[in-house]
Amino acid sequence: MLRHLSIRNYLLAESVELDFEPGLTVLTGETGAGKSILVDALALALGDRAEAGVVRPGASRAEIAAEFHIAGLPAFAAWLDNAGFGSEEDTLILRRVIDAGGRSRAFVNGSAATLTQLKEAAEHLIDIHGQHAHHALLRADAQRAMLDAYARADDAAAEVAQAWRQWQQARRRRVESETSGQARHIEREGLQLAMEELGALGDDLDRWEALQSEHARLAHVTALVEGNQALLDGLDEGEAAVTVQLGQLAARLETLRALDDSLADVAGLLETASADVAEAVHALRRYAGQLSFDPERLAELDQRMAEMHRLARKHRVRPDALAALRDQFGARLAELAASEDLDALAAAEEQAERTCRAAAQRLSAQRREAAHALAAEVTAAMRELALAGGHFDIVLLPLQEPRAYGLEDVEFRVASHPGLAPGPLGKVASGGELSRVSLAIQTALSGVAGVPTLIFDEVDVGIGGGVAEAVGRRLARLGETRQVLVITHLPQVAARGAHHLRVARRASGEGVTSAIECLDAAARVEEIARMLGGATLTATTRQHAAEMLAG
């Protein structure tokens, strides 16, 4: 709901700060005081186009900021996330700045935004009934959503949307298989050839590192044999072998140890060194037994590795990635085989279409029943609101094939006077009539659908007496489930408000300004009395005003 509105240097409003409460708030004031300024300013914060003339004379810019409480609006929270606008503590701030030259900037939660984004945000938050553009009831998608909500068919509508998406996916798979058959055939042949080339290498694809090690050993076997023998000569088999020297040194150390037993630790270390050398000599002799020159195996490895390098260059991967590439090609071949089964694809598409149509038909049945009930309820309300003889219809226009929202378009139609043929809601009613039709629809939908905040700007145009009483009652009833703001000239409507704002026009040496104040109980009596009796107030009009407020 709308919690706060800040207006700076907009037309006659120099500085206005307004807090709003749940329920019905009425806005009154003398003609020309500037009651429409609030709605016009709010419309700018919601994305309306701005002109340079809206900036208060002498100011460099006008600024309007609207703060909303957005808890309990999951669809709007998803929109904010997708658009990249974070929200803190369920609070949203829409801000609009217009400079004296006519340029404007828009912000959502402090981040720069486009006017389109402001308008998209506004669709989730507020609906202005009157001469302004934020009239959700005039949009076909909003009318359909309202009917589905009244029918308690939101789950059925979601089921249709999901089934329709699955049907379209099945259709795309079948069409792609038909239209790209030649390309798929070429791709399959290329993959099969690649798989044959890779398959010829067998398990060696998974042994690239082992092959490299084996090839290096065979290619350098002579150097390895010579080096191994040199190590054996130096350690054990040569005249100055390490083992001989260690033996001699150990004997001498034993002589010294006989003179000083503290050399026992050194003797132990020398003994360990002799054992380690002996183990190294044993290992080198085992290794020498494994070294043999195998020219045939070396030639085989040369050929194998050359082929792996060729395939790696061909497919632009490293040789050690060929095994993963083989698995990738195999998976793609399986996909192509499945996608080329046209009979199976066509059968899957037909089944998805049947599922979608069945879900859409169930939704249509709910819509037909709800359309009749909602139209009757709104028509009865219209007659109570000075539209006697008028008629409200909900027309379901059949489609040739299901869409994501079902088997029909939904259109609200109205005839505001007897003898008139019902026509689209936005084309056959005046501003005041449209506001009253909107009020009738909104009260019928008050418990099931719609944005959290409603503003009525022209709902009392051309009415009075008992009709005004009826309008006031319906607005109050609507205020039990929504936040409602109504700009009114009628005391019967104003008396129904849970909260009351008054606009006054004030003149000073610096010019004329509009001020908005929240009225307490005593001030409300005075304002309702003014609306009843004009400039001269009497005890009678005050008493009448008090009785209206008490009733």
In this predicted model, what pLDDT tens digit does every residue of 400-441 receive, in sequence order? 999 999 999 999 998 877 777 888 876 766 666 777 788 888
Average pLDDT, whole number, for the chain?
A: 84
> Which residue do the tokens 């419309």 mark?
43
Distance of CA 443 to the CA centre of its chain: 30
Q: Is the dihedral of CA 471, 477, 481, 485 positive or negative?
A: positive
The total of other beta-carbon atoms located within 10 Å of residue 140's CB is 14
Give 55's DSSP letter. B
What is the pLDDT, as a whole number, of residue 495? 92
First to last CA, the chain: 27
Residue 124 to residue 79: CA distance in whole angstroms: 9
Residue 43 to residue 433: CA distance in whole angstroms: 21
- Label residues 226-262 b or e (16+ Cβ within 10 Å = b): eebeebbeebbeeeebbbeebeeeeeebeeeeeeeee
Q: Give residue 535's pLDDT band: very low, low, confident or very high (50, 70, 90).
A: low
Residue 508 has pLDDT above 70, yes or no: no
**Phi, psi at 334, each rounded to 5°:** -65, -40
> Which residue do the tokens 């800040």 mark?
6
Cα torsion at 98, 103, 108, 114 (round to 10°)?
Answer: 150
In this predicted model, what pLDDT tens digit does every residue of 452-494 receive, in sequence order? 898 887 677 767 778 888 888 888 988 988 899 998 888 999 9
- pTM of the entire structure? 0.61
- Label residues 276-293 b or e (16+ Cβ within 10 Å = b): ebeebbeebeeeeeeeee
Q: Is residue 507 a contact partner of residue 514, using CB atoms and an 8 Å limit? A: no
Q: Is the dihedral of CA 274, 278, 283, 287 positive or negative?
A: positive
Residue 218 has pLDDT above 60, yes or no: yes
417's tokens: 């006077």
Q: Give residue 375's pLDDT band: very low, low, confident or very high (50, 70, 90).
A: very high
Give 422's DSSP letter. P
What is the pLDDT, as a whole number, of residue 124? 87
Give 58's DSSP letter. T
In this predicted model, what pLDDT tens digit does every residue of 340-361 receive, in sequence order? 677 788 899 999 999 999 999 9
Give me the helix-helix angle, 465-478 and 342-384, nearest 10°: 140
139-143, 189-193, 311-315, 454-458: range with lowest mean pLDDT: 454-458
Give 114's DSSP letter. -
What is the pLDDT, as a whole number, of residue 134? 44
Residue ranges of the alpha helices (H) in 7-139? 35-45, 74-83, 115-125
* Beta-carbon-side half-sphere exposure of residue 29 (alpha carbons within 13 Å): 22
In this predicted model, what pLDDT tens digit does every residue of 59-115 receive, in sequence order? 889 999 999 999 888 888 888 888 888 777 788 999 999 998 888 999 998 889 999
> Which residue do the tokens 């700045």 mark?
97
| Amino acid at position 254, single letter | E
